[in-house]
Chains A and B, each alone.
Chain A
Amino acid sequence: MTMKKITVKLNGAEHSAEVEPRLLLVHLIRENLNATGTHIGCDTSNCGACTILLNGKSVKSCTVLAVQADGKEITTVEGLATAEGLHPLQEGFKENHGLHCGFCTPGMMLRAVELLENNPNPTEEEIRWGISGNLCRCTGYNNIVKAIQYAGAKIRGDELPSTEPEFV
């Protein structure tokens, strides 16, 4: 078994590491690069808690090998906010009570980043299909959908929807 040297760009910063080929990308991110905002939920590519962006595409990092990310750009939840403030999705989740325990939230937001990039003005149904690979066991999803609608409006520069929370 030969170790592999890889270089990745995590949230804009370049990192090199010597890794076993069997190392999972989520472990590289959390344990080698100490970015623990990306969560491990099911470890079976069901729950979506480990969702990150790999070269801009949302993927489940528990089912990608670290060596597959060699030479690529990774975005995690730590890369969303800027010096100017929260990312529209972070703001949306905050304003709309889009989280309770918060465990699914980083994956949910990273998935929503790509969803809104592909489709800046999604319908509620498109949002629900769009996050169908992310499980939330607290919210019942309604406020997550509203958070994504809020972020979409903010990104488009439209009037922001009401942030009255929905109690279900």
Chain B
Amino acid sequence: MIPANFDYSAPSTLDEALSLLQEHGDEAKILAGGHSLIPMMKLRFASPAHLIDINNIPDLSSIKEEGDSFHLGAMTRESDVEHSEALTGAFPIFADVTKLIADPQVRNMGTIGGNLAHGDAANDHPAVMMALNASVEITGPEGTRTVGIDEFFFGFYMTAVQPNEILTGISIPKQRGKVGSAYHKAERKVGDYATAGVAVQIATDADGKCTYAGIGLTNVNAVPMRAKRSEEALVGSDLSDELIAQAAMMASEDCNPSADLRGDEEYKRHLVKVITKRMIHKAIQRAK
């Protein structure tokens, strides 16, 4: 399968990439890892007239701890995330999620920014970023703006990134207290999209009271979804087993899965309930 014809530029600076975007408007697509875009182009689901390859721009790929947060450059590869001891040490959820994203070769190309900018509720990082309450940095001709993860996803393949903008980074706040995180997805085989996936981050104070709960759901809603009611049930509580089971039930009630080859609606709701409960417990066990 061969993509339709297109023109190709590989700028070496962000400014150059932005001016190419200005020039070509929505005729252009940004090429990051390419492992969502190139398959779509090969299937002719996408036929951009111009590809702007941002792989040669230095500085877009980095993992930095900056005071109260971690900063990830948009072009940080999944394999770099997977092997960053600093990041997976602070947020074990990244070790969970990267292992379940596609396979090692795809993770050598795929980027964390691309995973979000693709705007697909079946991708795994959207739910993770919701659990972590991340914010996304978007750079355009006017400079860089920051968008909270809850204001980032608009619809199927639609995000806050405008045609003249590029997602350039992700910022992840460190929660106070004892913090733990976990992710799991049920998948039919390596490389498949999630039948259902759940990302959880929990923080507690010295008395064991929950001070923060973030729960994101993968592929059980048209857009990446936060299990808000479940989070609210947990915050302020002592995280009893009974309450955790209730929070998991709420997530399974609030999501909107569609039946497909991976399972019917009832099955997916059941998965959400089971995985949410397990991931909350795992996040609490990991809290430090």
Contact = CB atoms under 8 A, between A and B. Distances in A.
Interface string A58-74: 11100111011010000
A64 B55 CA distance: 12
Interface string B144-163: 00000000000000000000
B259 interface: no
B267 interface: no
B82 to A, nearest CB: 10
A77 interface: no
B100 to A, nearest CB: 10
Interface in A83-132: 111, 114-115, 118, 129-130, 132
A149 B104 CA distance: 18
A30 interface: no
A44 interface: yes
Given A48-B105, A59-B108, A132-B104, A1 B10 contact: no
Contacts of A48: 103, 105
A64 to B, nearest CB: 7
A129 B7 contact: no
13 contacts: A22-B4, A44-B42, A45-B35, A59-B105, A59-B109, A60-B106, A63-B39, A63-B42, A67-B8, A114-B104, A129-B99, A132-B104, A132-B190
Kindly list the 5 A-B residue pairs having the minimum CB-CB distance in the complex, ordered from nearest. Answer: A133-B103, A21-B8, A132-B190, A1-B5, A57-B108
B104 A64 contact: no
B34 interface: yes
Interface residues of B, number: 31
Contact of B191 (A46, A57, A64, A118): A46
Interface in B1-46: 1-8, 10, 31, 34-35, 38-39, 41-42
A34 interface: no
Contacts of B3: 22
Interface residues of A, number: 32
A43 B1 contact: yes
Nearest to B83: A118
Interface in B187-208: 190-191
A14 interface: no
A22 B2 contact: yes
A56 B41 CA distance: 26
B53 interface: yes
A24 interface: yes
B51 interface: yes
A18 to B, nearest CB: 13
B120 to A, nearest CB: 16
Contact of A64 (B2, B8, B34, B99): B34
Given A59-B109, A63-B34, A68-B55, A21 B7 contact: yes
Contact of A65 (B5, B7, B38, B106): B38
A2 interface: yes
